[in-house]
Structure 1
Amino acid sequence: MTRLALHSRLLPGTEEAYELEHARVWPELITVMRAAGIADWSIWRSGRDLFHLVECDDYEAAVAQLRDNPTDQRWQVHMSQFVEAFAGGGQPLRHVWTMNDQTD
């Protein structure tokens, strides 16, 4: 299992609405994400900046599988009213350090 981080930014004024949309994500979206190999996806917000932590087997394969999925396509269109863009074109952030990986 791999963990990776992503960064995206909200459109101005959509912060509360974005959080409300994530209070209960569509169950069918969770199903297709799991089927694509995504074990977990967490999002943190600081102002308009969103930081995502994704745990999956193969991120590129999961994204490729979701790209053709009608449920994910509907979700992406729906969320485009809130999200300005993924930084770096949706490429994972560069991993710098993890405390648990460091030995004494």
Structure 2
Amino acid sequence: MKLNRHCYACDLIDDADLIEEYDTYHKRIWPEIEKSIVEAGIADMEIYRCGNRLFMITETTSAYDSERKKQMDLDNPKVQEWENLMWNYQQAIPFAKKGEKWIPMERIFKL
């Protein structure tokens, strides 16, 4: 099965206690959140952190459609609860549009 890779960036509020809480939430995400990720066609997801900068890599199946995922998230009260909770820790990258959180990254090099 061919997977497609997508990479995103987001910032956390630069506060050590908040960053620690955010990390703790992501060591064991809510089961409903994991289910929604998989149901959207995301086969694998990893989040890395450097200071307060986050980098997310997703591997998606052919079933994945970003617009469908957005709508699924909007229609899922538990996902909305999670997203609202995460806004307590996350902040938009300086050049993000209002309400944007995870910004797609452009690959500029591949070996």
Consecutive unaligned residues of structure 2, counting only runs of 5 or more, are none
Which of 29, 37, 40 pairs up with 2:41? 37
TM-score normalised by the chain length of structure 2: 0.78
Correspondence for 2:4: 2
Q: TM-score normalized by structure 1?
A: 0.83
RMSD: 1.7
Alignment of 1:1-104 (within 5 A): 1-13=3-15, 14-56=18-60, 57-85=64-92, 88=96, 89=100, 90-99=102-111
Give the CA deviation at 1:63.
2.6
- The whole-number CA distance in structure 2 between the counterparts of 1:74 and 1:21 is 13
Q: Which has the higher helix share?
A: 1
Residues 64 and 2 of structure 1: is their aligned pair in 2 closer, same or farther, counting only changes over 3 Å? farther
* Stretches of structure 1 lacking an aligned partner (at least 5 in a row): 100-104
Q: Percent identity?
A: 30
Answer yes or no: is the 8 Å Cα contact 1:6–1:92 preserved in 2: yes
Cα distance in 1, alignment partners of residues 87 and 34 from structure 2: 18
